[in-house]
Amino acid sequence: LILLQGTVYYNICSIYHFLSLTIGPKEGWQVYSSAQDTDGRCICTVVAPEQNLCSRDAKGRQLRQLLEKVQNMSQSIEVLNLRTQRDFQYVMKMENQMKGLQTTLRQIEDDRKTIITRNFQELKNKMDELQPLIPVLEQYKTDAQLISSFKEEIRNLSMVLTAIQEEMGAYDYDELYQRVLRLDSRLHNCMGKLTCGKLMKITGPVTIKTSGTRFGAWMTDPQASQRNNRVWYMDSYTNSKIVREYKTMDDFVANVVSRTYNLPFKWEGTGHVAYNGSLYYNKYQSNIIVKYSFETGRVLAQRALEYAGFHNTYPYSWGGYSDIDVMADELGMWVVYATNQNAGNIVIAQMDPDTLEVRKTWNTEYSRRNAGESFMICGTLYITNSHLTGAKVYYAYSTKTSSYEYTDIPFHNQYFHISMLAYNSRERHLYGWNNGHQVLFNVTLFHVIKTQDDS
């Protein structure tokens, strides 16, 4: 009789495996020690490989899984690559600008007397402003290298996997499996680091369509799979319950409606969000948030947002019953509103997407009525100072550190009046409703460089 000890998987498979005496180092099995117990039974301690490879079938299955995993990683890398390249272009431009400045500055310093002091000071200020970006630049270069090395590793792994499809058994699966695991966890870390960051720049807009009234909302679902690109369209800020769905962005542009939903309750404002197959919106004349399933057409949950002002008590500066703004970012769901308790200043709540319960709140000192719009990226709320021409992102509140800073990030308010601005983390776009035009902005995020105690 055999007793399996140590780092052994106690399952039928491994015992069969042992009995059939096919243990070989190639499979990763090792007899660690053997002895007799007091009853004279033989006790063997074997070290099993982490994956039990019972038969060719199991191997085949495992191989398919590995292939799938590698394919998945390959897709993730493509997304990562695209995003990083986009940010990288911006960073490279900054680098050139910085180099130019540095050269100019050196020349000026060589010949200080001929230069007006004011100009010199201006340049010097600009230089000082750019100085903190140097480590960021270096980080970007490292990131880009990291991604291309990931790409190479994935290519190598795919090649190995394809080659051994013919020749099963002739390969050390355990090693291969470990290789995939290691790569996966490194990639995971890398994505965690690269996908979030601080908002640096907003470019665009690109006008996707011109339709509807001056006020409304449109969106896609950041949780939807890569193949699913449905667009939802909710014209007007009041007295409506009709949601139009389009299969793709192209259909949206061509005005080919695929479905129309008749919501059980009217909405208010434009702070709705599509998230993981449901629509979250503010029920009219109330501070109730409704979760409505697109698939079943049912209300899955509704809950009053405690103390939240509604119906133009604390709207954004443009009014429009925009008191309650539901949003989603990389970290989950949020709702932004204001309360008497916080003197009409913006409150950020983290919300459970299933129960709509508030998990935690943060009180900002920014008056909601003086905010043009706000949107959440990576757990930081960005607030614009107006809905009109000249608006900029003026204030940023980090829920991670519970602190704020003033920012100066301009964006082009092309059609003079913005009644909706929402971030989509999947596409890294800001969706905007710009005076009857549906527009998209790109955002550039700078990865926050992690320090030792900030991991």
Ligand X SMILES: *[C@@H]1O[C@H](CO)[C@@H](O)[C@H](O)[C@H]1NC(C)=O
Residue whose tokens read 């900030």 = 454
Q: Contact region for ligand X (CB under 6 A) — 63-71, 134-142, 303-311, 416-424?
A: 63-71
> Min. distance of Cβ 279 from ligand X in angstroms?
14
Per CB under 6 A, contacts with ligand X among 390-449 are 429, 440, 442
Query: Do 449 and 221 touch, CB atoms closer than 8 A?
Result: no
Query: Do 223 and 330 touch, CB atoms closer than 8 A?
Result: no
> Min. distance of Cβ 154 from ligand X in angstroms?
9
Query: Binding residue for ligand X (CB under 6 A) from 32, 45, 58, 86?
Result: 86
Choice between 223 and 240, CB closer to ligand X: 223
Q: Which residues contact 350 (CB under 8 A, 6 or more apart)?
A: 332, 333, 334, 358, 359, 360, 361, 399
> Min. distance of Cβ 288 from ligand X in angstroms?
20
Residue whose tokens read 């192209």 = 250
Query: Do 101 and 123 touch, CB atoms closer than 8 A?
Result: yes
Query: Binding residue for ligand X (CB under 6 A) from 33, 72, 165, 285?
Result: 72
Residue whose tokens read 């970006």 = 133
> Min. distance of Cβ 289 from ligand X in angstroms?
15
Query: Binding residue for ligand X (CB under 6 A) from 156, 355, 389, 402?
Result: 156
> Min. distance of Cβ 39 from ligand X in angstroms?
45
Q: How many CA atoms lie within 13 A of 54 on its CB side?
A: 10
Q: At what angle do helices 133-164 and 173-195 cross, to 10 degrees?
A: 150
Query: Binding residue for ligand X (CB under 6 A) from 204, 319, 344, 436?
Result: 204
Pairing verdict, β 374-377 and 358-367: unpaired
Query: Do 419 and 216 touch, CB atoms closer than 8 A?
Result: yes
* 206 belongs to the binding site for ligand X (CB under 6 A): yes
Strand order across the beta sheet in which 403-410 lies: 374-377, 380-384, 392-398, 403-410
Q: Contact region for ligand X (CB under 6 A) — 105-113, 164-172, 200-208, 243-251?
A: 200-208
Query: Binding residue for ligand X (CB under 6 A) from 122, 152, 352, 405?
Result: 152
Contact code string over 6-45 relative to ligand X, x by CB under 6 A: ----------------------------------------
Q: How many residues does the chain have?
A: 455
Beta-bridge partners for 339: 308
Round to whole Å and give the CA distance between 337 and 310: 8
> Min. distance of Cβ 272 from ligand X in angstroms?
17
> Min. distance of Cβ 215 from ligand X in angstroms?
21
Q: Is 452 helix (H, G, I), strand (E, B) or coil?
A: coil
Per CB under 6 A, contacts with ligand X among 250-289 are 276-277
Choice between 156 and 285, CB closer to ligand X: 156
Choice between 141 and 182, CB closer to ligand X: 182
> Min. distance of Cβ 417 from ligand X in angstroms?
19
Query: Do 87 and 140 touch, CB atoms closer than 8 A?
Result: yes
Straight-line distance from the first to the last Cα atom of the chain, in angstroms, rounded to the nearest whole number: 50
* 189 belongs to the binding site for ligand X (CB under 6 A): no
Choice between 86 and 241, CB closer to ligand X: 86
> Min. distance of Cβ 313 from ligand X in angstroms?
30
Per CB under 6 A, contacts with ligand X among 93-112 are none
Determine the size of the site formed for ligand X (CB under 6 A): 19
Q: Is 104 helix (H, G, I), strand (E, B) or coil?
A: helix
Query: In sequence order, what E strands does 23-155 have?
Result: 30-36, 42-47
Choice between 8 and 219, CB closer to ligand X: 219
Phi, psi of 304 (to 5 degrees): -80, 140
**DSSP calls for 144-185:** HHHHHHHHHHHHHHHHHHHHHTTSTTSS-HHHHHHHHHHHHH
Round to whole Å and give the CA distance between 80 and 86: 10
Choice between 233 and 237, CB closer to ligand X: 233
Per CB under 6 A, contacts with ligand X among 111-150 are 149
Choice between 252 and 395, CB closer to ligand X: 252
Query: Binding residue for ligand X (CB under 6 A) from 69, 126, 201, 311?
Result: 69
Query: Binding residue for ligand X (CB under 6 A) from 37, 57, 68, 138?
Result: 68
* 221 belongs to the binding site for ligand X (CB under 6 A): no
Round to whole Å and give the CA distance between 210 and 214: 10
Task: Enumerate binding residues for ligand X (CB under 6 A).
Answer: 65, 68-69, 72, 86, 149, 152-153, 156, 203-204, 206, 223, 276-277, 353, 429, 440, 442
